């Protein structure tokens, strides 16, 4: 498939000649990577991630971050798998670990991975789209920390994790790359991204690594004139981040008790649309206050905690978040609503069957003597409960289930 024409921010244009840097030279001259690559995948993602990292060069001008949806109940072998697949070393980072160019950071099971300026953060904050780690959390934090230096990639997977985060990457000037849904093993995540975000490149999996390397080279070349200023900017940014953290922390604490939209706006001054500052994102996320400004009641409840969901719209695309911090894109919300509906029906079936059993026991205890009328009443209750339970069981056993094929 022919790549989509890149947006203006990534289109090739004439630039003055600048010295080319290898990733090793970049690392010596700057503590920061030239580019930040963030990758998200779900079903089918092990093979897809391996194919991408296999073709990346050993001296890559970027730090690479990957989120793959895996079971939270065991250890992950992904760092070992990715390290064997290509020349770059993959690790599960520790909270607060420094970011190094040429390293792949893989989100550990059951922990969100966030990118803050110069460091990786880990968090057990509320799940997003039903997952922890969430692709949206990684993409959103990288965009806020590194802006136009971010290249975000959505690979194979079901539902729509990554779509909302990809929109934030684009809003901050980053580049959006998506695996062609037509060739993805599971097209849900790539197709959602293509439908709802202005994607720069829609590519077969085999062509993605070459584009990533080209984008990293371009970002390294653009960054050369600013290398000398990195240390100064970093010091100033750290001071500003400390002050912002104090203000945002207070806003988060105040906002946690009120309107989710108001908390996002108050906690994140200086970011259009209420986007959270990078240095305080972990605190906001863990307090359930990492929200966009202007959120409105949606009329829906959170399928995980039962709280009210507030929603924002970006174009025609909606995003939902509850007071405690659970967040959902539309298809993920639908899937979890279907799951909670099925759970409620199983509970109702259990309650009806217990009611029928109890009515039968009471009917047996009142058999004969002066309690004959009570016995008939309990028998009628038993028959009614058994009838309703059978109807519910037929609904639950239908082949199409409650998910509509999702």
Q: Report the catalytic residues.
A: 42, 69, 161
Please work out, in degrees rounded to the nearest 5, the angle formed at the alpha carbon of residue 46 by the alpha carbons of 135 and 399. 80
Task: Quote the tokens at residue 167.
Answer: 């929109």
Contact 35, 223 (CB under 8 A): no
Contact 345, 392 (CB under 8 A): yes
| 76: exposed, middle or buried (Cβ count in 10 Å: 0-12, 13-18, 19+) | middle
DSSP letter, residue 325:
S
Please work out, in degrees rounded to the nearest 5, the angle formed at the alpha carbon of residue 103 by the alpha carbons of 147 and 158. 70
Nearest in space to 288 (alpha carbons), one of 263, 270, 313, 305: 263
Contact 167, 196 (CB under 8 A): yes
DSSP SS3 for 122: strand
Rounded CA separation 296/262 (Å): 10
Angle between helix axes 45-54 and 208-223 (nearest 10 degrees) is 50
Rounded CA separation 177/27 (Å): 25
DSSP SS3 for 114: strand
DSSP letter, residue 242:
H
């Amino acid at each position: 498939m022919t790549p989509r024409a890149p947006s203006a921010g990534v289109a090739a244009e004439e630039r003055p000649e600048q010295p080319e840097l290898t990733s090793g030279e970049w690392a010596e001259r700057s503590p920061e990577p030239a580019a930040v690559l963030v990758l998200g995948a779900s079903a089918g993602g092990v093979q897809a991630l391996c194919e991408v990292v296999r073709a990346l060069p050993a001296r890559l001008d970027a730090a690479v971050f990957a989120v793959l949806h895996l079971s939270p109940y065991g250890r992950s072998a992904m760092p070992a798998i990715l390290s064997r697949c290509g020349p770059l070393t993959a690790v599960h980072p520790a909270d607060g670990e420094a970011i190094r160019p040429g390293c792949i950071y893989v989100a550990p099971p059951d922990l969100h991975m966030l990118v803050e300026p110069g460091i990786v953060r880990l968090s057990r904050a509320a799940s997003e789209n039903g997952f922890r780690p969430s692709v949206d959390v990684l993409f959103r934090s990288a965009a806020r920390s590194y802006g136009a230096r971010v290249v975000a990639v959505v690979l194979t997977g079901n539902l729509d994790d990554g779509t909302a985060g990809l929109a934030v990457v684009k809003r901050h000037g980053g580049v959006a790359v998506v695996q062609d849904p037509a060739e993805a093993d599971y097209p849900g995540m790539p197709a959602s991204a293509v439908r709802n975000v202005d994607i720069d490149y829609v590519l077969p999996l085999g062509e993605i690594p070459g584009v990533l390397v080209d984008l990293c080279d371009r970002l390294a070349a653009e960054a050369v004139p600013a290398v000398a200023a990195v240390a100064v900017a970093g010091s100033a940014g750290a001071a500003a981040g400390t002050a912002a953290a104090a203000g945002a922390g207070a806003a988060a604490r105040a906002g946690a008790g009120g309107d989710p939209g108001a908390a996002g706006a108050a906690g994140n001054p200086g970011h259009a649309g209420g986007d959270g500052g990078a240095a305080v994102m972990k605190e906001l996320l863990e307090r359930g206050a990492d929200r966009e400004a202007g959120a409105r009641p949606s009329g829906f409840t959170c399928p995980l905690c039962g709280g009210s969901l507030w929603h924002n719209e970006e174009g025609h695309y909606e995003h939902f978040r509850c007071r405690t911090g659970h967040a959902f894109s539309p298809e993920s919300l639908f899937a979890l609503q279907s799951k909670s509906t099925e759970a409620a029906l199983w509970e109702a079936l259990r309650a009806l069957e217990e009611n029928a059993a109890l009515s039968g026991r009471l009917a047996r205890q009142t058999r004969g003597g002066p309690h004959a009328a009570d016995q008939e009443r309990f028998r009628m209750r038993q028959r009614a409960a058994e009838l309703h339970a059978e109807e519910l069981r037929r609904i639950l056993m239908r082949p199409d289930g409650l998910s509509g094929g999702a």
